[in-house]
Structure 1
Amino acid sequence: MAFLGIDHPLIAVRDLDQAIETYRSLGFFIAPPGQHPWGTSTALALFRHQILEIVSIGDASLLDGYEAGSFRFGRHVEGFLEKSEGVALTALFTEDAGEAEAQLAARGIPCTGTINFGRDVVRANGQPDRTKTTLKVFHNDTMPRLSVFACQQHRRDLLEFPDRMTHPNGAHGFAAATIVAEDKAPVLDWLTRVHDVSATTDAEGFDSVETTNGHWRIVDPSQFHSIYGADLPDDFLADGPRIAALDVRVSDFDAVNGVPVTTEMSKLGGIAMRFVGSRKHA
């Protein structure tokens, strides 16, 4: 049975090594970096059914590979990095990518294209194995940074290793991804259709779209500043609405004091972040 929850916003950065160092300094366990077959390099902080993923350009000669309809994943990331760092698009968790495609098509959101890929890995017992992943891309032409893709990890057992999911800061996933928009109506329309729910308000009174794994918070620039105390760059909304912050769930709220990690978005790759207290689920 398919479901769509926030899995991993892709935080695109120009200097992956520096970003890894920064996130490790905040108490995230970042696994050794790897590379997608379409040329983007990637580093992950793993949670259950969610990932904090940082991407950059690894091998520019591969960026035109794995074309999905009119969509080239590597070029999409490259295009946004030419303008600014930040979230380029977001993966949504699904257990059945084909069913997710059918569900969104029924709601008037056609699939742009499909990507199937895998990589060779070695299990803890020394045995070779191979991951298998299916992506169904749903590109938003008018709000490109809010494009999403349904991500089915057929071999999640080769990704969610317990020793890589324990973070010194106690993080265990995302409570919310905050989108900034001058006009919130198109954003709410897009996300309510993607998730097949009605818009609501979150516990802090902001416009919200609930998913099965965290919620989208939609705010205007002044509301964003009131939440995170961060100043948006002057050209932040040049490409339309986009994710500006992540709320990270931690089981030991006192350990991180419940305050924003930083109000300087450039330090985290074009986003703000705050820790929020939340009991860890099994």
Structure 2
Amino acid sequence: MAFLGIDHPLIAVRDLDKAIETFRSLGFFIAPPGQHPWGTSTALALFNHQILEIVSIGDASLLDRYETGGFRFGRHVEEFLEKSEGVALTALFTEDAEEAEAQLAARGISCTGTIDFGRDIVCGDGKPDRTKTTLKMFRNDAMPRLSVFACQQHRRDLLEFPDRMAHPNGAHGFAAATIVAKGKAPVLDWLTRIHDVSATTDAEGFDSVETINGHWRIVTPQQFRSIYGADLPDGFLAEGPRIAALDVRVRDLAAVSGLPITTEISKIGGITMRFVHSGKQI
């Protein structure tokens, strides 16, 4: 079984308020926005051990904070947004960040650096508490849009509140994240080494890498168009392979049949999306 799973792709957008409105119109419960200590603003749709996270630039004066191994999280998002919206990098679920680093090192993937952070909160009963999160960054210089980080939420109980995980559209996580690449081999090598599995094909016959939380689907631009009916914007792959779509699991496809899903990538934060359940999609 793969040690790491898809936790939360970070969808970088230029206008956070507009993006929140868009995702709420698609039936997601989006919690009130907050801010990372490195200056990016953030809004979340929470699932069990997965998150749909939207990020933007909140306080540009903080973007150089929390530098690790030459990597600055805030600057990475800023540089991505200078070119386009979309998934800037992806968090991978782990319950042991140190073990994740050790396992990836054994497979020839070096940790760029570590970020530890937390924030003070007030719980529903009025008592103060503090979150604690450890990030292990794994930058891919050849394919920067596929950089990842292992994310250990030490206090997941302070994140996954049941009332914030009940979405009007019935969403309960990601079935797949679809990567578009002109050449699949480097992507498959990167992902199979991260997850310590062999590549396979998914139920629709496309190249796939399974994780404990959904799977990566790797497709060509032509295959992407056949799946989603969407055209990639000009220059979409200028900096190499990247995530272009998310498949979101829902409990009842009938409940989402009238939602305003669009095939225009520019309309949903630089990605497209479909709802899936029991091998069906919409």
* Alignment TM class, shorter chain as reference: over 0.9
- 2-side partners of 1:94 and 1:127: how far apart? 28
Query: Which residue does the alignment assign to 1:264?
Result: 264
Contact 1:139–1:147 (CA<8 Å) still a contact in 2?
A: yes
Judged with a 3 Å threshold, the aligned counterparts in structure 2 of structure 1 residues 260 and 224 are, in CA distance, closer, same or farther, namely farther
Equivalent positions of 1:8-23 (< 5 A) are 8-23=8-23
Q: Residue deviations 1:117-169, cap 9 Å, x none?
A: 00011111110000000000000000000000000000000000000000000
Query: Which residue does the alignment assign to 2:95?
Result: 95
Gaps of 5+ in 2: none
Deviation at 1:278, TM superposition (A): 4.6
- 2-side partners of 1:90 and 1:14: how far apart? 18
Equivalent positions of 1:46-85 (< 5 A) are 46-85=46-85
1:243 partner letter: I
Greater CA drift, 97-106 or 247-256:
247-256
Query: TM-score by structure 2 length?
Result: 0.97
Deviation at 1:257, TM superposition (A): 2.9
Deviation at 1:192, TM superposition (A): 0.1
Query: Which residue does the alignment assign to 1:151?
Result: 151
Judged with a 3 Å threshold, the aligned counterparts in structure 2 of structure 1 residues 109 and 260 are, in CA distance, closer, same or farther, namely farther
Q: How many residues align?
A: 279
- 1-side partners of 2:226 and 2:247: how far apart? 15
Deviation at 1:3, TM superposition (A): 2.8
Query: Which residue does the alignment assign to 2:255?
Result: 255
Query: Which residue does the alignment assign to 2:225?
Result: 225
Query: Which residue does the alignment assign to 2:192?
Result: 192
Query: Which residue does the alignment assign to 1:3?
Result: 3
Query: TM-score by structure 1 length?
Result: 0.97
Q: Residue deviations 1:250-277, cap 9 Å, x none?
A: 0112212399921011111100000001
- 1-side partners of 2:257 and 2:214: how far apart? 21
- 2-side partners of 1:278 and 1:249: how far apart? 9
Contact 2:8–2:52 (CA<8 Å) still a contact in 1?
A: yes
Judged with a 3 Å threshold, the aligned counterparts in structure 2 of structure 1 residues 211 and 258 are, in CA distance, closer, same or farther, namely farther
> How well do the aligned residues superpose, as a CA RMSD in angstroms?
1.5
- 2-side partners of 1:190 and 1:203: how far apart? 22
Contact 2:90–2:148 (CA<8 Å) still a contact in 1?
A: yes
- 1-side partners of 2:267 and 2:161: how far apart? 28
Secondary structure of residue in 1 paired with 2:246: strand
Query: Which residue does the alignment assign to 2:125?
Result: 125
Q: Residue deviations 1:39-93, cap 9 Å, x none?
A: 0000000000000000000000000000111110000000010000000000000
- 2-side partners of 1:210 and 1:76: how far apart? 27
2:196 partner letter: D
Query: Which residue does the alignment assign to 1:176?
Result: 176
Judged with a 3 Å threshold, the aligned counterparts in structure 2 of structure 1 residues 238 and 77 are, in CA distance, closer, same or farther, namely same
Secondary structure of residue in 2 paired with 1:105: helix
Gaps of 5+ in 1: none
Q: Residue deviations 1:161-211, cap 9 Å, x none?
A: 000000000000000000000000000000000000000000000000000
Query: Which residue does the alignment assign to 1:245?
Result: 245
1:215 partner letter: H
Secondary structure of residue in 1 paired with 2:160: coil
